[in-house]
Amino acid sequence: MEVIIKDSAAELATVAADIVQRLVHRKADAVLGVATGSSPVGLYDELGRRVAAGTLSLAGCQAFMLDEYVGLAADHPQRYRNVIETELVARTDIRSERVHGPDGLASDIPAACAAYEQAIRDAGGVDLQVLGIGTDGHIAFNEPTSSLGSRTRIKTLARQTRIDNARFFDDEAQVPTHCLTQGVGTILEARRIVLLAEGEQKAEAIRQLVEGPVSAMWTATALQWHPYVTVIVDQAAASRLALHDYYLDVYAQRPGWQE
Ligand SMILES: N[C@@H]1[C@@H](O)[C@H](O)[C@@H](COP(=O)(O)O)O[C@@H]1O
C-alpha cells in the first residue's frame, strides 16, 4: 500500500488528479469508480480545471458510483446520483448518461443490486476507484462487520454514519436508514484504488487501514489485500501512523517510472 502525505487539500487533489489524468491519457475510455462525500470534491474540482484548460477530457470515460441512499426522492439534493451530477458531471465533460449508480428507488432491490454488479462487469470492470473513508473505517457504505467478500447489496447505516452525514441534511432524522452499496469484494476488483482522507477525525480510520490488522470492524482494512492502493492523506489524517516517516521517505524516493 502506498501512502502519500501532503500538507494541503490542494496538494491532495493535485496528486489524485495526476493519477486520473495519467490513466485517461493512456486509456481514453477508462472506467472510473467515483465516490461521494466531501473527500473527493477537491479532486473533482481539479479535474474540472484541467478539462476547462483543455489538458484532460473525461468524455470517453464511464463512471460507476459506489453507493446510494435508499428511498430518497429522485430530485432530493442529497441523493448521491444528484450529488455526483453537481460535483463531477457539472464540473467536467464526463457525460451524464455514462455515469451509473445503484438504484435506491428500485422496487426489487436484490435484482437492482445484481443488475448493478452485471453493469460493472459488462463495462470491463473499474480501472480506477476513488474512495473516501468513514470515521468508522467504512468504504462506500460497508459498515463495521460487513463481509469482506460482500457484493452490492442493501445495508443499514450505522448510527455514527448517520450522525456524520447529518451535516448534509436538516437533521439526523432526515438521513435515510438504509443504502445500497458496492460490497468490499466488489471494490477490491477495481484494478487500482486511490483513497483520499483529510482531517484529524479520519486519523484512527487511516491508522487502522494502513497499519491495523485486517478486520471486518474496519472494512477499509480489506484494502491491504489489494495489490495497488494509493492512500493520499493530509498531516492530520496521517497523525496516528507509526511509520509516518517511512512513508515520506518512500514517496521522496519514488522511482520516476512508477505510475
Ligand atoms: N458513503 C460515503 C462514503 O463513500 C464516504 O467515503 C464517506 C466519507 O465521507 P466524507 O468524505 O464526506 O468524509 O461518507 C459516506 O459515508
Asked if residues 133 and 139 have their Cβ atoms less than 8 Å apart, the reply is yes
DSSP state of 53: H
Q: Whose CA is nearest to atom 9 of ligand 1?
A: 37
Percent of the chain with pLDDT over 90: 97
**In degrees, to the nearest 5, what angle opens at C-alpha 162 toward C-alphas 1 and 173?**
170
Pocket of ligand 1 (CB under 6 A): 35-39, 66-67, 132-134, 140-141, 161, 165
Which CATH number applies to 7-192? 3.40.50.1360
Q: Note the pLDDT tens digit of each residue in 46-94.
A: 999 999 999 999 999 999 999 999 999 999 999 999 999 999 999 999 9
The residue whose grid cell reads 491532495 is: 12
User: Is pLDDT above 80 for 40?
Assistant: yes
User: Is pLDDT above 80 for 259?
Assistant: no
CA of 212 to the centre of ligand 1 (A): 20
Neighbours of 145 (CB within 10 A): 10
The 10 Å CB-count burial string (b at 16+, else e) for 39-59 is: bbbbbbbbbbebbeeeebebe
Grid cell listed for 90: 457539472
- Give the separation between CA 181 and CA 139, rounded to whole angstroms: 9
Q: Whose CA is nearest to atom 14 of ligand 1?
A: 37
Q: Note the pLDDT tens digit of each residue in 129-176.
A: 999 999 999 999 999 999 999 999 999 999 989 998 999 999 999 999
Q: How far is CA 16 from CA 7, 20, 85, 105, 142, in A?
A: 14, 6, 20, 32, 23
Indicate whether this model's pTM tops 0.90: yes
Of all helices (H) and strands (E), which one includes residue 88? none
Q: Whose CA is nearest to atom 8 of ligand 1?
A: 134
Q: Note the pLDDT tens digit of each residue in 183-196.
A: 999 999 999 999 99
- Ligand 1 binding pocket mutation candidate from 143, 162, 165 (most atoms within 8 A of CB): 165
The residue whose grid cell reads 475510455 is: 29
Q: What pLDDT does residue 181 have?
A: 98
Angle between helices 41-53 and 9-26 (to 10 degrees): 60
Neighbours of 71 (CB within 10 A): 13
Domain boundaries, the chain: 7-192
Q: Note the pLDDT tens digit of each residue in 208-224.
A: 999 999 999 999 999 99
- Ligand 1 binding pocket mutation candidate from 44, 139, 141, 187 (most atoms within 8 A of CB): 141
- Ligand 1 binding pocket mutation candidate from 39, 84, 181, 223 (most atoms within 8 A of CB): 39
CA of 218 to the centre of ligand 1 (A): 14
Shortest-distance atom of ligand 1 to CA 35: 4
